[in-house]
Structure 1
Amino acid sequence: MSDSHETDTVRAVAVLGAGGTMGRGIARNAAVAELPVHAWNRTPAKLGDLAEENGIETFATAREAVVDADLVVTMLSDAEATLAAMSGPDGGAAGSEGAIWVQMGTIGVAGSERCAALARDRGLLYIDAPVLGTKVPAEEGTLIVLASGPEGSRERLEPFFDAVGRRTIWLGEAGQGSRLKVVVNSWICAVTEGTAEMFRLARALGLEPHLVLDAIEDGPLEAPYMRMKGEMMLKGDYTPSFRLALGAKDAALAVAAGAEAGAEIPMIEAIATQMAAVAAAYPDEDLAALFRGTADA
């Protein structure tokens, strides 16, 4: 059991999901910052060579990983995976009473509320801190952390957040981070699907799609994210930095949050439907694979 609420030194950071695209970079950067890391993954083989790196120790169960860890970080694909990692006799919550639970995955508004309830039941301080950024920012430690939770925890978490991100935005009570993440991701989905449809329309009208990017270059319509995904589409390069299956999941989270809050978001609803259809055919390709549409599925 940890008494992290009352001490200033972080003895260890448990990273649950350390073998994933995002978790691996988070674990490595925490270790580089000289924060001892306890790593666990649902599929142990995905931990790879992390055990051979300085400052990282791997564990067979989440419960073993959180022992003596003051911060328990979850970076998993969805709310169900996160709750499964923290629940049960071998789950993280079973061995981390008194620690700070830093939830960093994209799990939606309702998912964050479920995690907060579990944290209260198990005596954990809950920090909702999803991130903006994909594989490369995670590897480089340049994520944007959307942190929310008790103000008194900020100073204690600063060394960890500084290790994994280039900026931390504090948003108030726990859960606000996931709200902002859902909103930002709805924009990401809209931009990417909009770019894909723009190119398909250009091609159907007998235009080379690259002419669109040429037309808006260096002008007020330029958007770096659109250009990045657009260039991937034009090259046919769908190497995943953000898997389409996860993007479709995030679009669905936005729809669910909007429905619960009474927001009128018909475009996001339509985009979520389209993304789900394309993701069914190309789940492990990058979000840019939306350019393929359903005709080739």
Structure 2
Amino acid sequence: MRVAVLGTGIMGQGVARSLTREGHDVTAWNRTREKAEPLTADGVAVVGTVAEAVTGADVVLLVLFDGDAVLDVLDAAASSAPATAVWVQASTIGVEATGQVVEKARSAGVDLIEAMMLGTRKPAAEGKLVMLAAGASDLVQRARPVLDAMGAKTIAAGDTVGQGTALKLAANAWIASVTAATAQSVALAESLGLDPQLFLDAISGGQADTPYAHIKGATMIAGDYPTQFALDGLRKDIDLMRAAAPSTFDPTLLDALATVYASASERGHGSDDIAAVRAGFDGGRDRD
């Protein structure tokens, strides 16, 4: 299929490579073209405008940072794509902005679904994301070859665009929580004079164990945070969770997560991996 990838950040670059590897004809655009240029070595065509990118596309994949960016791209490119193109909104932009995008797509005559990407840099590059799809079933089916190339599996979140976003926020709340909980235990063990590896050894193989704790825990212990999922990106998602939560939902834990991730960001770790939330538990101390 002819696929336009709009946005080549961490996730966009990974999925563009995965799509090309699986035989799709991929054209990529990024607001800063230089960031997309490395994709040419993988057979991706890089162009200078969104209109060029979507011309002739069967599927238009939106992998952008926020709702404003998605709305801007729709304004700029909707009239240049074929009427038969399926637009796949894969950016984590929250409930309110998703509603705005749905309205914009409707007014522009664009066929829109969403496919939230659950995973980080490595699964994106390997085509092993979990895709959280929502929208009309016939449109999802038309985009299925693209979703299959991006992910190891696709979860049908519902037939209404927005349900995939809701599921992504719930899933990322878990990621934020388990990462922060791992950091808390590592930090507590260290503060009590223990080798923090003992914490990971203690939970290993038990009912409370999770491979994720060992992956992120090892990074925390090493104090080295190569970015798989940027900490400030997760902070943005936590804010979207808080904004989307209804009045019947108690945000106490989300508020605490927002505080500890903000603390780590203020210590200079905003562009590091989310494992750098470890720095948010240092109080007045700085490990760097």
Q: Are the equivalent residues in 1 in contact too, given 2:263–2:279 (CA < 8 A)? A: no
Structure 1 Cα separation of the partners of residues 186 and 20 of structure 2: 43
Query: 101, 110, 123: which is aligned to 1:115?
Result: 101
Give the aligned partner of residue 13 of structure 2. 24
Is it true that 1:288 corresponds to 2:275 in the alignment?
Answer: yes
Counterpart code for 1:104? A
Q: Are the equivalent residues in 1 in contact too, given 2:133–2:140 (CA < 8 A)? A: no
Q: Are the equivalent residues in 2 in contact too, given 1:103–1:127 (CA < 8 A)? A: yes
Query: 15, 18, 23: which is aligned to 2:5?
Result: 15
Query: 205, 217, 229: which is aligned to 1:230?
Result: 217
Q: State the Cα distance separating 1:94 from its structure 2 match.
A: 3.3
Aligned length: 281
Structure 2 Cα separation of the partners of residues 52 and 239 of structure 1: 23
Give the aligned partner of residue 29 of structure 2. 40
Could you tell me the percent identity over the aligned residues? 40
* Helix, strand or coil at the partner of 2:56: coil
TM-score by length of 2: 0.92
Deviations 1:197-237 (A, max 9, x none): 11222222222211111111111110111221111101111
5+ residue gaps in structure 1? 1-9
Q: Are the equivalent residues in 2 in contact too, given 1:97–1:122 (CA < 8 A)? A: no
Query: 57, 61, 78: which is aligned to 1:93?
Result: 78
Q: Are the equivalent residues in 2 in contact too, given 1:148–1:171 (CA < 8 A)? A: yes
Counterpart code for 1:117? E
Q: State the Cα distance separating 1:52 from its structure 2 match.
A: 4.0
5+ residue gaps in structure 2? none
Q: State the Cα distance separating 1:261 from its structure 2 match.
A: 5.5
Give the aligned partner of residue 200 of structure 1. 187
Give the aligned partner of residue 213 of structure 1. 200
Is it true that 1:239 corresponds to 2:229 in the alignment?
Answer: no
Deviations 1:105-158 (A, max 9, x none): 111112211211111111111111111111010110001000000011232111
- Residue correspondence of structure 1 range 148-159 to structure 2 within 5 A: 148-159=134-145
Is it true that 1:257 corresponds to 2:244 in the alignment?
Answer: yes
Structure 2 Cα separation of the partners of residues 157 and 120 of structure 1: 18
Structure 2 Cα separation of the partners of residues 262 and 162 of structure 1: 37
Counterpart code for 1:96? A
Give the aligned partner of residue 130 of structure 2. 144
Q: Are the equivalent residues in 1 in contact too, given 2:113–2:140 (CA < 8 A)? A: no
Q: State the Cα distance separating 1:97 from its structure 2 match.
A: 5.7
The 1:103/1:96 distance shift into structure 2, 3 A limit, reads: same
Q: Are the equivalent residues in 2 in contact too, given 1:244–1:283 (CA < 8 A)? A: yes
* Helix, strand or coil at the partner of 1:129: strand
Is it true that 1:190 corresponds to 2:177 in the alignment?
Answer: yes
Structure 1 Cα separation of the partners of residues 100 and 260 of structure 2: 28
Give the aligned partner of residue 135 of structure 1. 121
Q: Are the equivalent residues in 1 in contact too, given 2:18–2:125 (CA < 8 A)? A: yes
Flag as ranges the 4+ runs of structure 1 deviating above 4 A: none
What is the root-mean-square deviation of aligned Cα atoms in Å?
1.6
